[in-house]
Amino acid sequence: MKAALRSSILVVIAALVASCAPSGPQKSDYLLGYTRNNGPTGKGEHHSAPAIPDDISYWDGEGTTGAPLIRINRAEQKAYFYKGGQLVAVSKISSGNEDHGTPPGRYKITQKDKDHKSSTYGAIKDRATGQMVNDNADIRTPVLPGQIYYPAPMPYFMRFSDGIGMHTGFLPGYAASHGCIRMPDHMARHFFENVELGTPVIVQ
């Protein structure tokens, strides 16, 4: 009787411990399967934090002339686009996270690449099944036999510092990138089409 009671107690304790343990990160396609409607797609599980509705971003720069300037406010998670000193657009963004912060300062656009892919970050999938193995990999992450590494796509990339630029990307509603400025696709396209090499970028 005592043995049975002790066994039952151990089972209950084990169940409680298991319920408190971390469930482990979900594997997703949000870096690789990003579509231009601001959501992940592709094989495997989707990111567990879907993009929140965007009632912030707008573009009103058609027909306005003047030198472009971009101001990025990390605290607000917004980017502001000016032409000739006049505000013509505001975009929701996701800047660098705590471990990979976007550095403040004054910069200039040094590269434009509509179909850019990251030279550092990406994800690893199983070659045979297409299932996600590591959704936060980089070029130093070991790729085992039967796996394949995919560099992260960064459409409408506008570089303004070493390894950092603005581009289309997943927006979870907070600072989550490796340092770049992620934007909704339609806003990244507007910014891309209206900047030139040398356009000032101010990060606050």
Name the residues annotated as catalytic: 167, 180
Q: Where are the beta strands (DSSP E) in 38-131?
A: 39-40, 58-59, 68-73, 78-83, 86-92, 105-108, 111-126
Q: How far is 134 from 96, CA to CA, in rounded Å? A: 20
**Which helix (H) or strand (E) covers residue 136, if one does?**
strand 132-138
Residues 6+ apart with CB under 8 A from 93: 72, 77, 78, 79, 166, 171, 181, 182, 183
Distances in Å between the Cα of 89 and the Cα atoms of 57, 61, 69, 80, 113 are 7, 7, 11, 6, 21
| Nearest alpha carbon to residue 30 among 123, 95, 99 | 123
**Which helix (H) or strand (E) covers residue 13, if one does?**
helix 2-20
